[in-house]
Amino acid sequence: MAKLEFVSFLVDETLRLQKSGTGKLSSLELKLKDYGLSYFRGEFIPQNQTLRFKTEFGNLDAPINWSIFASSTSLGDHTLLDEQNDTDYLFSVIKSAWKIPLEKLLVTHADGYCFVIGLKAGEENHLHDLLNPQEWLKTG
């Protein structure tokens, strides 16, 4: 996803969520909870052009101009990070702070939020399901 498209998407979705005033779970978030996967949900902060993730170790603000959000390193709507593919050292920092045995980090978005999903050994088999929105659960 091109950086400009990503920023436009975040701005539009943030405004839509603020207008609706609802905080319902997204269908991606329902899947993450169902599979028992560890994740952070980030909200776009337009004033300082960052994504703010509320984590168990405090707020994590990630600038949207980091390479993980650039189209050259992204695989369409998501980025998969591991020890070999960690240009901004986000994987290293989160793995150290999160204290779970991470193999990969999936960075994606859904329903106006950016998600950082921690995948342990064996949890990569959920990738297909997580990355195919047509298979998401319907929320009412």
CATH code, 123: 3.30.450
Residue 51 lies in a domain: yes
| pLDDT the model gives residue 119 | 94
Residue 34 lies in a domain: yes
Residue 21 lies in a domain: yes
| pLDDT the model gives residue 136 | 44
| pLDDT the model gives residue 3 | 54
Residue 107 lies in a domain: yes
| pLDDT the model gives residue 67 | 77
Instruction: Kindly calculate the radius of gyration of the chain based on its CA atoms and give it in whole angstroms.
Output: 14
| pLDDT the model gives residue 120 | 92
CA 10 to chain centre: 12
The number of distinct structural domains making up the chain is 1
What amino acid is encoded at 45 in this protein? I
Nearest to 109 by CA among 130, 93, 129: 130
| pLDDT the model gives residue 23 | 53
β-pairing verdict for 58-63 and 78-81: unpaired
Residue 68 DSSP class: G
The per-residue pLDDT string of the chain (140 residues; one tens digit each, 9 = 90 and over) reads 455 566 677 667 666 665 655 555 568 888 899 899 999 999 988 898 888 998 888 888 888 888 776 644 444 578 888 999 888 888 888 888 888 899 999 988 887 888 999 999 888 888 888 877 654 444 54
β-pairing verdict for 113-120 and 78-81: unpaired
| pLDDT the model gives residue 76 | 58
Q: Which range of residues forms the domain containing residue 115?
A: 3-135
Residue 29 lies in a domain: yes
Residue 20 lies in a domain: yes
